[in-house]
């Protein structure tokens, strides 16, 4: 009996508040207009390569890939015919390559050059 009373009161409240939630059509809010998109920047005119230059050399026992950015050697990947590949990286930009093996314990943090000035 108590359950029927609660159900009846609940349904009455639901139907009584339904017109309030429907809202008034005259009170509709206009959506804000989207701002104009920015102009597309012009293409690069400097002639500099946006991707690294890769030189691949093959020998009898290994494949050597040299990665250069703006003419500077930044990484060398050496893939021997037997065994895992290993890398020589210039991690601090001093011109000397540092050895690195494919080992997660010696993983280096990814670093990108975003801007540079002469």
Give per-residue pLDDT as tens, 12-62.
Answer: 877 777 665 555 555 567 778 888 888 887 776 666 666 778 999 999 999
pTM here is 0.45
**pLDDT confidence tier of residue 85, bands split at 50, 70 and 90:** confident
Q: Which residues make beta-bridge pairs with 94?
A: none
CA atoms within 13 A on the CB side of 92: 4
Which pLDDT value is given to residue 22?
Answer: 56
Cβ pair 89, 108 in contact under 8 A: yes
- Comparing 81 with 113, the larger pLDDT belongs to 81
Which pLDDT value is given to residue 110?
Answer: 64
Q: What percent of the chain has pLDDT over 90?
A: 11
Q: Name the strands in the sheet holding 98-101, side by side, starting at the edge strand that comes first in the sequence.
A: 53-58, 62-69, 72-80, 86-89, 98-101
């Amino acid at each position: 009996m108590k359950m029927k009373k609660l159900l009846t009161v609940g349904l009455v409240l639901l139907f009584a508040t339904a017109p309030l939630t429907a809202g008034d059509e005259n009170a509709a809010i206009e959506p804000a207009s989207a701002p104009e998109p920015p102009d597309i920047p012009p293409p690069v005119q400097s002639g500099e390569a946006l991707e690294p230059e890769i030189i691949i050399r093959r020998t009898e026992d290994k494949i050597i890939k040299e990665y250069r950015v703006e003419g500077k050697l930044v990484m060398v990947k050496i893939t021997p015919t037997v065994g895992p590949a290993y890398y020589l990286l210039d991690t601090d930009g001093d011109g000397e390559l540092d050895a690195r093996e494919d080992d997660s314990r010696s993983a280096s943090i990814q670093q990108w050059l975003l801007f540079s000035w002469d």
